[in-house]
Amino acid sequence: MNTASTPSLPTRIAVLGIGMMGFPMARRLCEAGCTVSAWNRSRAKADRLQPFGATVADTPAEAVANVDVVITLLEHGGAVEDVLFQQGAIDGLQPGALVVDMSSIQPRQARDHATRLARQGVRHLDAPVSGGTVGAENGTLAIMAGGDAADFERVLPVFELLGKAVHVGPHGAGQLAKLANQMIVGITIGAVAEALLLCEKGGADMARVRQAISGGFADSRILQVHGQRMVERDFAKRAAMTVQLKDMRNALATAGEIGFEAPITSLFERLFSSGVDHGLADMDHAALFVELARRNGMH
Residue of 178, 201, 237, 246 marked active site: 178
The pTM assigned to this predicted structure is 0.90
Provide the 10 A C-beta neighbour count for residue 181: 19
Encode pLDDT of 55-74 as tens digits.
Answer: 999 999 999 999 999 999 99
Q: Are residues 120 and 214 in the same domain?
A: no
Encode pLDDT of 113-163 as tens digits.
Answer: 999 999 999 999 999 999 888 899 999 999 999 999 999 999 999 999 999
What CATH number is given to the structural domain containing 90? Answer: 3.40.50.720
Of 170, 189, 210, which residue constitutes the final position of a domain?
Answer: 170
Q: Are residues 165 and 219 in the same domain?
A: no
- Across the range 26-53, mean pLDDT stands at 97
Query: Is residue 3 pLDDT above 60, yes or no?
Result: no
Provide the 10 A C-beta neighbour count for residue 118: 12
Q: Number of helices and strands (H, E) in the chain?
A: 14, 9
Q: Are residues 152 and 270 in the same domain?
A: no
Encode pLDDT of 155-205 as tens digits.
Answer: 999 999 999 999 999 999 999 999 999 999 999 999 999 999 999 999 999
Which residues have C-beta within 8 Å of that of residue 212, sequence separation ≥ 6?
none
Position 39: which residue type?
W
Q: Are residues 47 and 152 in the same domain?
A: yes
Strands 98-101 and 55-56: unpaired
For the question of residue 246 being annotated catalytic, the response is: no
Q: Are residues 144 and 79 in the same domain?
A: yes
Which residues have C-beta within 8 Å of that of residue 241, sequence separation ≥ 6?
272, 275, 276, 280, 281, 282, 283, 284, 285, 287, 288
Q: Are residues 64 and 147 in the same domain?
A: yes
Instruction: Give the count of domains, the chain.
Output: 2
Q: Are residues 15 and 93 in the same domain?
A: yes
Domain that holds residue 261: 177-295
Q: Are residues 64 and 193 in the same domain?
A: no
| Reported confidence tier of residue 4, pLDDT bands at 50, 70, 90 | very low
Encode pLDDT of 12-23 as tens digits.
Answer: 999 999 999 999
Of 170, 197, 225, which residue constitutes the final position of a domain?
Answer: 170
Q: Are residues 284 and 152 in the same domain?
A: no
Give the whole-number percent of the chain exceeding pLDDT 90.
93
Following CA atoms 258, 259, 261, 265 in sequence, which dihedral angle do they give, to the nearest 10 degrees?
30
Half-sphere exposure of 254 (CA within 13 A, CB side): 24
User: In angstroms, rounded to a whole number, what is the distance separating the alpha carbons of residues 299 and 293?
Assistant: 6
Of 170, 188, 217, which residue constitutes the final position of a domain?
Answer: 170
Query: Is residue 299 pLDDT above 90, yes or no?
Result: no
Position 114: which residue type?
A
Q: Are residues 55 and 17 in the same domain?
A: yes
Average pLDDT taken over every residue of the chain: 95
Q: Are residues 158 and 222 in the same domain?
A: no
What CATH number is given to the structural domain containing 244? Answer: 1.10.1040.10
Encode pLDDT of 227-254 as tens digits.
Answer: 999 999 999 998 899 999 999 999 999 9
Provide the 8-state DSSP code for 277: I
Query: Is residue 291 pLDDT above 80, yes or no?
Result: yes
3-state secondary structure at position 147: strand
Q: Are residues 7 and 126 in the same domain?
A: yes
